[in-house]
Amino acid sequence: MSQAAIAPTLPPRDSLEELARSQRRIDDSFGLASWVAVIGVLLAWAYVKLDTSMPLVDPVGITSVLSTPLQREQGGVTNLVDRAHSAFAAGDIVTPEGDNALHYYQQALVQAPDDAAAQRGFEHVIEYLVNEAESAVFLNDWDKARNNAAKVLALVPKHKNAREINRRAARLQRVEELIDRAVALYAGGRLTVPANENAAAMYQAALALDPGNQAAQQGLETIVQRTIANAESSMRAGNIEQARDYLDRAKALDPHAGRVASLEKINQTWENIQQELDIKNDLLAAAQALQADRLIAPDEPNAFALYSKVLEQQPGSEAALGGLKLVRNALIERARTILKSEDMQATDRYLDAAALAGVDAAIVADLRDEVAYRRRLINAQSGRFDSLFPLSQVKPIRQNPPVYPRSAPAGISASVNLQLTISEAGEVRDVEVINDPPAYFKRAAINAVSRWKFEPVIERGRPMPVRVAVKVAFQG
C-alpha cells in the first residue's frame, strides 16, 4: 500500500483540540483532506492491482487488533460505511469492541473490498492511530505510543511511520531513563566518577541518542561549571594536583567551557611556584646527603639521585650541576682512600658508583688498573701467582754461581730444581726446592740463589713481582 496517503503528521499542541473537532464532523464532510485521501486510496488501489502479493487489508492483522472476529453483517455496504462514519465522528474509532469505526469499515471491506468510501474510512483510522501515537510520543507516554503503533502495524505490517514511532519511543524512553539516572547520580555527588557510572556519562549517553535534548545539555553544562568551581576551590586551598585533576575533567567534558583557559593559566602559575619550591627542597636535601656522605645508591636519600631529579625539572640548574660534580669528586677520592687500605672489593664498588655517576672514563680506568696492580702485589706477597715467568727474560744484576759443598762426597753430581720470587725491587725471596736432592746440595743451591739480584720486571710501566723456575747443577 502506498505510504503517501497514510503518512502521519504530528499536529502542534494547540491544534490537537481542533483536530478532534474536525474528526467528529467527518460524517458530514471530509473536505480537502477527503479528496487527498481519495487520491491516495486510488493510487494505493492501483498499486495493489499491480502487486497482489501485499493486500490492502489484512483480515488476520485486523482481527488481532480487534477482539471481535470479522463476520459479514446485514444492512449492506452503504449502511456499514454510514455507521462507521457516525462512530468516527463520535470518537469511537477503535472502541468500544464491536461498535467502532474501524470495525464497521472492516466489515464493509469484507463485503466489498473495492468500496472507495470504506477504503477512505479505513485510511482515516490509520491516520488517527498514527496521530495518537505521535501525540503520545510528544507527551512522553511511551506505552500509549507503542500500543497505537502496534495497532497500526497489525493492520498495515509495513507501515514506515509506525515502525519509526516504535523506534523513536524506545529511544526517547531510554533518554528519559538516562536523564533520571543522571539526576540521581548528581544528587549523590557522583558528577564525573566513577567511570561509566556518573552523571556526566549518563547525560552524554542521552545526548548520543537525542543530540538536541535540552535537559541533557543543561545537565552537562551544570556539571562542567561545578567541576570548574571545584578546581578553583582546590587552587585556593593550595592543592594543585587536585585542581589539575578537576580542570582535566572539565576540559574532557567541554574543552571550550568558560573560565577553563584562565584557570589553567592560574594552575600553571601555581605549578611553577610549587616546582620551584620542590627544587629548593631537593637541593637542600641533596646538600645534606652530600655532607652525610650519602653519595649514591644504595644510600637513601642520596645526593646523586636528588641532584639528578633537580636537573630533570630544571636542566640548566647550576646548583645541581655543581652538586653532581662534588658527588663525582667525592666518589673518586673515596675510591683512592680505600685503595690505599688495600680493600679491593670496597674500591671496586666505589669505582662502579663513580662510573654510574658519570666520572670521566679515563680516570675510572686508571684507578681500575691500579686496583689490578695492587691485587697482584698482594697475591705475590701471599705466594699466589697465575703462572711462572721465564728466567731467560729476567735481567740479572748479581748472579754468582753456586759453590760445590765441601760436605759433599767427591765426584758426585746433582741438580736442584727451585722456584723463587723476584720482587718488585728485583730481590729474591720465597725460595722453594721442588725436587729431592741431598741436603748438602739443597743448602748450597738455596744459599747461592738467595744472593742473586735482578732488574725489576716491568709490566705496563709498573715493577711487578714474578715467580720463576731455576735449575742449579753441581758437577763432582
What would the mean pLDDT of 409-437 be, rounded to a whole number?
93
Question: What is the bridge-based pairing of β-strands 462-464 and 466-474?
Answer: unpaired
Distance (Å, whole) CA 128 – CA 63: 18
Per-residue pLDDT, 275: 77
Which carries the bigger pLDDT value, residue 20 or residue 103? 103
Confidence of residue 262 (pLDDT cuts 50, 70, 90): confident
Mean pLDDT of the 419-438 span? 94
pLDDT for the residue 276: 82
What's the pLDDT band for 45 if we cut at 50, 70, 90? very low
Per domain, the residue ranges of the chain are: 13-156, 175-258, 276-381, 391-474
Judge whether residue 70 has pLDDT over 70. Answer: no
Residue 40 has pLDDT above 90, yes or no: no
Cβ(176)–Cβ(140) below 8 Å: yes
pLDDT at 190 over 50: yes
**Does 53 have pLDDT greater than 80?**
no
Residue 101 reports pLDDT greater than 90: yes
CATH top class, domain 175-258: mainly alpha
Query: Which position has the higher pLDDT, 236 or 318?
Result: 318
The answer to whether the beta carbons of residues 168 and 133 sit under 8 Å apart is no
- Helix and strand element counts for the chain (H, E): 17, 7
Check whether 25 has a pLDDT greater than 60: no
Q: Mind listing the pLDDT tens digit for each residue in 349-408? A: 999 999 999 999 999 999 999 898 888 888 888 888 989 999 999 999 999 999 999 888
> Quick one: average pLDDT of 414-432?
94
**Model pLDDT, residue 377:** 83
Instruction: Give 319-323's long-range contacts (Cβ < 8 A, gap of 24+).
Output: 319/283, 320/283, 320/286, 323/283, 323/286, 323/287, 323/290
CATH tag for 391-474 (out of 3.30.1330.60, 3.30.750.24, 3.30.2420.10, 3.40.50.300): 3.30.2420.10
pLDDT tens per residue across span 289-312: 999 999 998 899 999 999 999 999
Q: What does the mean pLDDT of the chain come to?
A: 82
Of the candidates 166, 253, 171, 167, the one whose C-alpha atom is nearest the C-alpha of residue 209 is 171
Residue 74 has pLDDT above 70, yes or no: no
Using pLDDT thresholds of 50, 70 and 90, give the confidence band for residue 238. confident
**Higher-confidence position of 97 and 36:** 97
Least confident span in 41-55, 262-276, 440-454:
41-55
Residue 68 binned pLDDT confidence (cut-offs 50, 70, 90): very low
Cβ 191 vs Cβ 152: under 8 Å: no
> Same topology for domains 175-258 and 391-474, yes or no?
no
pLDDT of residue 476: 74
Task: Describe the chain by its helix, strand, coil percentages, rounded to 5.
Answer: 60, 10, 30
Whole-number pLDDT of residue 237: 86
Calculate mean pLDDT across residues 254-258.
Answer: 81
pLDDT band at 267 (very low <50, low <70, confident <90, very high): low
Main-chain phi, psi angles of 396, to 5 degrees: -80, 145
Report the range of poorest mean pLDDT among 15-29, 168-182, 212-226, 407-421: 15-29
pLDDT at 22 over 90: no
